[in-house]
Amino acid sequence: MTQKIIFSWQNILKHCQIITKKIKTPPDLIIAITKGGLPIATVLANKHLNNPPIITLQLKEIQTQGKAGYKAKKVKLISPLNIYPIKGKRVLIVDDVADSGNTLKKAIKIVKTQNPQSLTTTCLHYKPRTHTIPDIFAKKIDNHLWIVYPWE
């Protein structure tokens, strides 16, 4: 049976403060990976980062059937970046958790095509199995734990 770790809004606010302290230069723009990154991006922008604009990027990790029943994970772009100038901006990509790292990796690839001045990634949590560790995070979570956020 998979163990759950349940985070309250109070936990989320505390973890957002931890992230804020690690941000060296405030971003000009926040890109929230929806759906999980949007609540965090809103808290960071409104409470900690002098209210930079937030735009969204909707990605979804899906499983595809491969050889001999192997299920590979692929990230599908659901909704592209809103029309907003990214070129030359200091961009902060925000998501809730880096589990496999596939969503974060895809977001980085998409945003880099827009030539930002700098690009920083942040997640509240990451798991050691991820292949894309965020630049900034609040807490490392064991691989076997199922994370439940208050917005779910």
Residues 31, 48: Cα–Cα separation, whole Å? 15
Report pTM. Answer: 0.88
Q: How far apart are the first and last CA of the chain?
A: 20
Average confidence score pLDDT of the chain: 89
User: Which CATH number does the domain 3-148 belong to among 3.40.50.300, 3.40.50.2020, 3.40.630.30, 3.50.50.60?
Assistant: 3.40.50.2020
Count CB-CB contacts under 10 A for residue 69.
6
pLDDT at 70 over 50: no
φ and ψ at residue 117, rounded to 5 degrees: -65, -45
pLDDT given at position 79: 67
Question: What is the residue extent of each domain of the chain?
Answer: 3-148
Write the DSSP symbol of residue 128.
T
Residue of 86, 81, 96, 100 whose CA lies nearest to 147: 96
Residue of 61, 52, 26, 56 whose CA lies nearest to 38: 56
Quickly tell me which residue has 């734990």 as its tokens.
Answer: 145
Q: Mean per-residue pLDDT for 105-121?
A: 95
Q: What pLDDT digit, counting tens, does each position of 13-32 carry?
A: 999 999 999 999 999 999 99
Residues 48, 27: Cα–Cα separation, whole Å? 11
* Region label for 50, one of left (φ > 0), alpha (ψ between -120 and 50) or beta (otherwise): left
pLDDT at 76 over 80: no
pLDDT given at position 78: 65
pLDDT at 52 over 60: yes
